[in-house]
Amino acid sequence: MLHVPRLDVVDRRLMPDAASECDVATPHQATLRGGGPTPALTLRHIMQYIWQSGRSDEAIQSSRLSEMTTVRRTKTGEPRRHSTRPSQFFLESVQLERFKAAFRPDPLSLSPFTVIIGRNGSGKSTVLEALQWLDLAMRHDAVRACERYSGIHDLLNIRSRGQNTRYFKLVLNWTMGTQVGGSGPKATYELRVNESLDGRPLIHSESLVVSDEQDVPIIETEVEGTRIAPGRRILLPGDPSRKRIFDEPDRLALSRLAGGVNDGSLPHRTLEAIRAFWERAVFLRLSPQRLAQGSLPKRRSFDPLLDEEGQSLPALLNELTVTQKRALVEAMNIALPDISKIVVSETNTSREQNVYWSVREKMPTGYAGRGTYEIPASMLSEGTRRLTAILALLIRRPSPSLLCIEEIENGLDPWTVLDVLQRLQSAPRHSTQSILTSHSPWLLDNVELDAIRMVRRTGGNTRYSVFRTESAVKSFLATVPPGARYVNLTDSPE
């Protein structure tokens, strides 16, 4: 049984300062408008206390796996430390045009950790679907990226069905550096995709410009496409020795260029960062059934670290080192203290044979009342399967560059949600940017106000905004937590 300490006996030296950590008051204590009580401890603060005070020094030390560095020896035998942390490349904003619910909304600004909220049908998932479309087009081609939507027709906004408006457009802005809005180089990528006369996707135009002290074009469109022919793109237009024409109808020039320049120039560093970004991007709409069905023992080189429904989890677990598997067990012990090991079955017959995963759990049976039993994934709870997948991704090194999760709270108890949120909010230190969608006001109470983005749909238009900049949100007292503000907005986000 989880012991939750009384608020009046909690050792506050072990907890973050409630008044300075964030604007907090539990929803039932908050006064929505007018005077109110001083900030109070939230469940997040209590859980941080339990998490730290209830573990041994050895466990705390082991949990710092992600902070490890590679130790090498000098000629004199002295250790030389080299950080294993990769360069960070954060997605700073996304702008959609004529893509599904989004006709022409303003750009959606992003932070290293972002939670998107909004009513059903407002367009929360539209952003993630646009990014996932680009991810699939990078890994395969535009035709394959459209297959899950029964073709490009279903991706076009309903107001884009005219003869000359059958297209969608995506604009992405990245920042290279330690944080969004940092001083490192920036990259802007624009893509327009037409629907051809026979209903196939055709690349109309594509551009990539990296900006440091000056703008350097890496991809530019020489001749724009039509509904009959693709656009004519120029790769590396500023380098006469490498400049070439690219006019494949359904392939992105970006996918062909990434990793193809082998020097230390700004274009090379940009393309390597983009290659790594999409190579390790993960989009999750986890299916409890798929999580238990097994997969091939190894993923293919062009596959994501984990597929969106989670069926390739055994292959992901096989990629973890022994130390990372121990860290995964320890992370799961916060919710499931009796799990002692994660096991993936082996196959000796064929590389095409599926393997399955299970957990070993200590039970009061057997000799001296202490036994360990192997429980297959199919017998685990849905929440345990989801938790295993998310934690395995966060513990793997290198970790995902972009981790997008739909309705993160599904299947997880409140304590586990808090633990996962804490891990995701600290993940940017290891080059992982997270974008979550949620319907939970309680979850909002446990994230920073600056991390929340709101989606509204009014008059048939989808609009994205920074939650804290909304006038209705600013009218609340600072002590009112984000979730309470959201559900008590006077201008309901219909």
* Residue whose pair of structure tokens reads 């006369």 in the numeric block: 197
Hey, how many other C-beta atoms are within 10 angstroms of the C-beta on 31? 14
- Does the structure show a pLDDT above 70 at 425? yes
pLDDT tens digits for 146-199?
998 989 999 999 988 777 889 999 999 998 765 555 567 899 999 999 999 999
Rounded to an integer, what is the distance from CA 358 to the centroid of its chain?
Answer: 25
How high is the pLDDT of residue 340? 94
Q: Are 15 and 42 in contact (CB under 8 A)?
A: no
Q: Is the pLDDT of residue 368 over 60?
A: no
Provide the pLDDT for residue 263: 61
Count Cβ atoms below 10 Å from residue 180 Cβ, excluding itself. Answer: 20
Q: Do 432 and 420 meet the contact criterion of CB atoms below 8 Å apart? A: no
Q: Are strands 232-235 and 244-246 parallel, antiparallel or unpaired?
A: antiparallel
pTM reported for the whole predicted model:
0.81
Task: List own/partner pairs for 328-331 with CB under 8 A and 24 or more apart.
Answer: 328/388, 328/391, 328/392, 328/395, 330/59, 330/62, 330/63, 331/63, 331/391, 331/395, 331/419, 331/423
| CA atoms of 141 and 227, how far apart (whole Å) | 18
Report pLDDT digits (tens) over 85-114: 445 689 999 999 999 999 999 999 999 999
Interval 60-84 mean pLDDT: 38
pLDDT of 65: 35
pLDDT of residue 183: 67
Euclidean distance between CA atoms 24 and 139, whole angstroms: 43
So what's the pLDDT on residue 4? 38
pLDDT greater at residue 51 or residue 403 = 403
**Confidence band (pLDDT; 50, 70, 90) for 62?**
very low
For a pLDDT cut of 70, what percent of the chain falls above it? Answer: 77
Computed over every residue of the chain, the mean pLDDT equals 82
The answer, yes or no, to whether residue 457 has pLDDT greater than 80, is yes
Span 376-412, pLDDT tens digits: 999 999 999 999 999 999 999 999 999 999 999 999 9
Residues 6 or more apart whose Cβ sits within 8 Å of residue 87: 176, 273, 431
What pLDDT score does 345 carry? 94
Predicted confidence band of residue 274 (pLDDT cuts 50, 70, 90): confident
pLDDT attached to residue 72: 37
The pLDDT-based confidence of 212 (bands split at 50, 70, 90) is confident
Per-residue pLDDT at 296 exceeds 70: yes
The percentage of residues in the chain with a pLDDT greater than 90, rounded to a whole number, is: 63
Q: What per-residue confidence (pLDDT) applies to 419?
A: 96
